Amino acid sequence: MQQELKIAGNRIGVLIGKGGATKQRIEERTESVISIDSEEGLVTIEGEDPVRVLTAASVVQAIGRGFSPENAFLLIEDEDRVFEQIDLSGIADTPRQLDRLRGRIIGRDGRAREQIEHMTSTHLSVQGKTVAIIGLPEQVKDARTAVEMLIRGVPHEAVFAFLDRKRKEAQADLISYYY
């Protein structure tokens, strides 16, 4: 199976890693071969096992969207984790609007993004015209909802109250599961 992705030129070095270490680690962990066309930003992933190739593609895509290799490797280490991205380009008409949306999601000194990550046990990356999320499916769903609420202009306090409510529901579900 073969998968092709395009990533930004400024992320190619991160994907390759020092001495090719990151690329090699992805290849070893997913039993795939990764070819990189640095000029085009085109990454080709080939392998026998379609699931492993798709996992490698998710890791490459995550690194391309601004995640550190350590956070991207969570997609290999825990097969239940998923990668999802939200495209802001259709929402923001001007670069200024896009900056405003990114600013709302990131918050002052990165606090809003950190709060969403903390309350949902996910990792977020806001880069270019996308917001990317890594985490378990239910947590990613909650983080995505929080980001979408911020995009719609819902006040930060209301978004954090929503996440707090979701976290308490999840804890109650966990407790009732064991008792």
Q: Per residue of the chain (179 residues), give pLDDT as tens.
A: 999 999 999 999 999 999 999 999 999 999 999 999 988 889 999 999 999 999 999 999 999 999 999 999 999 999 899 999 999 988 888 999 999 999 999 999 999 999 999 999 999 999 999 999 999 999 999 999 999 999 999 999 999 999 999 988 888 777 766 66
Boundary (domain end) residue, out of 42, 77, 112: 77
* Whole-structure pTM value: 0.90
Query: Do residues 46 and 102 both lie within one domain?
Result: no
Query: Do residues 127 and 89 both lie within one domain?
Result: yes
What are the structure tokens assigned to 18, written together? 């020092």
Query: Do residues 59 and 98 both lie within one domain?
Result: no
Is the distance from CB of 2 to CB of 58 less than 8 angstroms? no
Query: Do residues 87 and 165 both lie within one domain?
Result: yes
Query: Do residues 10 and 43 both lie within one domain?
Result: yes
Is the distance from CB of 71 to CB of 62 less than 8 angstroms? yes
Domain range for 41: 2-77
Query: Do residues 37 and 96 both lie within one domain?
Result: no
Spatial distance between the Cα atoms of 126 and 132, rounded to a whole number of angstroms: 6
CATH number assigned to the domain comprising residue 157: 3.30.1370.10
